Structure 1
């Protein structure tokens, strides 16, 4: 069995749904289809999820909702009409939309989650109707029926381990197709809660693990994962295969094909993932595989960068002989609830790298003032101009001199890294540069290895 997932852009219109159905039916093993809400049909269009958020806000503010309900229903109606679905069959979708404000919700957050989730819920119902209309034996399965239990916040849910037990007992006829809505699950008390945005990827990975799928095919609007951001390097190479941990390392530094959390259920179940293009479904795409027995094709798999970092540099003579130095710094950060990303250090130096989104100018001043007063470093410098570049590849473990090659190529371009740190896994090298040098550094490293 294969689980396949389609994003919103792949299900935005009758034509795109027809293409997705062709992909589903091209292989008998493709039995479970995870669907997103209809996305944008053209650049100026609005995603159905965004329309549902507007519907929720109007409901909460006791405003007229007739127009927004009509606009949402019209999106499903157009898809249904493309396949000849009758008005009577579409009435259930209209009814469910109208009935949303009439349900009981513990609070406004649960209301918002329920409204958002219906983009996927209604689309899955509609696509199951379409498949049966086309003579393809199909069944809509709701997370309630499947026992996909979640905990956590209403709009930032986490899968409960009980879900995998429930999914293991789900009966699926070998001759039927299952249509399952992405993005949400059911709380122990029976309310809808959504994963963080982009969470249909998470649902797909959960089902792939819970149903013991041989493969999880994630269909997007790109032909696999590029080895570098195409906005930096034109026509970059597509990664043919990579490991879970390579994907995690690259996701951290800006690769955005997958939601960061989406891989975790598949990783835990050791399910291979194939990222493919909905519009070019016969292309091989990118395979994401377990680490065990993986043989890399090349030294470097990908290069990625992010520019939203800042760093605090401290120098103190004989730092290595001062017990508790790092602990006192961490206690200050904990006091102000500020996480740090990395802390490379030397004999007399330490650099603390922060994600800028967790900081304000006031917090920076408070932290620097307290560190200066409590620790009294010989030098304390705040660096706003900071970018991180990740060079990732399973092939680096068995190749000597990769760091030297990188540094040499950067030096030729006049780039002096502010920090270089190799991870304990030996599959990644992190480089800190000035923001304005980051793109050139990425291009230089890419050209050196590709």
Structure 2
């Protein structure tokens, strides 16, 4: 089980998490995040730790911020009526901050301290992540060495709390995953112990069909495959850190996204494959703004061997990754992140002319990409037609269409200004019409 920051933000949330763990004896290994925000105006502990460390190493005043961190943890301990004193831990962390132990060390202490509290509260053994989660000295995760250590250490531990987000490299330095990395730790632990299931407890009742900031009260996805989740995560859906998929996928371990505040809700099951059909043709909708299209035209392009390779070489030479590449007989379009591209645009265009000798190169910015994803699309006729019909009815112009050979997704490009309306239109035609 992994509990997110919102699930452990205060003593009240801790109690909910404790009740959930105790409700099922098969819940044996718990991965806590650092305390998150208690309300919209609050700070995340990890952010406060960064601020404290930066102030300490620069010689600025840091005591006030650090006292704020200590007060949060004391409040949790007192609210849980625990006989636990972390003052020596706070002193040790402060000494390491002043000794410039690194920002990764600083960020990791939120999970470390929460892990100590969680272990005391549950009566579980505390296993520090720096005993079993290993990174290479270049900062990359050492998956196989970690897996062996987890198998060896946890094979003799019946119930344990392991802090998320961090580990140690082979030189003894604390290393962290990217923000949200406690999801990854949970997945790694699940793989190492060959778990029956990995429960990821958060503040939503599963993965939603669409962004709730765009669609009012979107439906919950009951079952989603790893591949579908990968497609949606890549396009901006963010309930689970996308790197958390791979360790459990390798072992065929399902992930259950659950709501700490509504533990009886079914949540979303993430699986390798399933016979279960979605109640809708699609599984989910996700998208991002901020792309641009580079449209390359050349008469008889299809007869010129190597033309595409030459054009794409220009992007590679400038270290720009390509998102999509729809093409026609005499034209090809390259979709890239506008922010990444705009400072190098003239360099790239000049390189395209030099390498591929096109008739013209035109650019269009302010494009949003929307992915419509679903395993049910393979067996349902007219899915693409319904997408286009929904957008036409909403008077939204489609700038790009791209469908993979897997028939798992359809990606459409629209203007940034039409993004929200397009998501709502697609949701309405596939989900709202069936709900009604």
Fold similarity call, TM over 0.5: yes
Shifted more, 369-378 versus 18-27: the winner is: 369-378
Equivalent residue, structure 2, for 1:197: 179
Corresponding position of 1:151: 136
Q: 1:401-432, CA deviations, whole angstroms, 9 ceiling, x for partnerless residues?
A: 21122223322333332221111221111111
Partner residue, 1:83: 80
1:93-127: CA deviation from partner (whole Å, max 9, x where unpaired)? 3233233236574xxxxx10001101101110122
Retained in 1: the 8 A contact 2:137–2:170?
no
1:410 and 2:391 aligned: yes
- 1:167 aligns with one of 118, 127, 150: 150
Shift in Å at residue 377 of structure 1? 2.3
Do residues 314 (structure 1) and 296 (structure 2) align? yes
Using the alignment, how far apart are the partners of 1:310 and 1:259 within structure 2? 26
In 2: Cα distance, 1:314 partner to 1:436 partner: 24
For residues 278-323 of structure 1, give each alpha carbon's deviation from its aligned partner in whole angstroms, at most 9, with x where no partner exists: 1001110111111265644432111112112111011211000111
Which range moved further: 95-104 or 259-268? 95-104
Cα distance, 1:152 vs structure 2: 6.1
Name stretches of at least 5 consecutive residues in structure 2 with no aligned partner: 432-436
Given the alignment, which residue of 440, 444, 450 partners 2:421?
440
Q: Is contact 1:69–1:97 with CA below 8 Å preserved after alignment?
A: no
- Return the alpha-carbon distance in structure 2 between the equivalents of residues 256 and 19 of structure 1: 23
Q: Retained in 1: the 8 A contact 2:195–2:253?
A: yes
2:277 maps to 1:277: no
Is 1:378 the equivalent of 2:359?
yes
Q: Which moved more, 1:222-231 or 1:164-173?
A: 164-173
Report deviation, 1:67: 2.6
- Name the structure 2 match of 1:68: 65
Secondary structure class of the residue paired with 1:307: strand
Aligned counterpart for 1:36 among listed residues 33, 36, 57: 33
Matched, 1:388 2:369: yes
Q: Paired residue for 2:434?
A: none
- The equivalent position to 2:113 in structure 1, one of 113, 118, 122, is 122
Partner-residue secondary structure (3-state), 2:153: coil
Give the number of equivalent residue pairs.
431
Structure 1 counterpart SS, 2:162:
strand
Does residue 94 (structure 1) correspond to residue 90 (structure 2)? The answer is: yes
1:62 offset after TM fit, Å? 2.2
Gaps of 5+ in 1: 106-110, 133-137
Closer, same or farther: CA 414–83 of 1 in aligned 2, 3 Å = closer
- For the 8 Å contact 1:80–1:90, the answer to whether it is kept is no
Shift of 1:439: 2.0
Matched, 1:303 2:285: yes
Which of 306, 311, 327 lines up with 1:329 in the alignment? 311
Structure 1 residue 191 displacement after superposition = 1.1
Whole-Å separation in 2 of the counterparts to 1:440 and 1:81: 48
The TM-score, its normalising length taken from structure 1, stands at: 0.91
Structure 1 pair 65–438 and aligned structure 2 pair: CA distance change class (3 A): closer
Please report how far the alpha carbon of residue 15 of structure 1 lies from its aligned counterpart in structure 2 after TM superposition. Answer: 1.0
Deviation at 1:376, TM superposition (A): 3.3
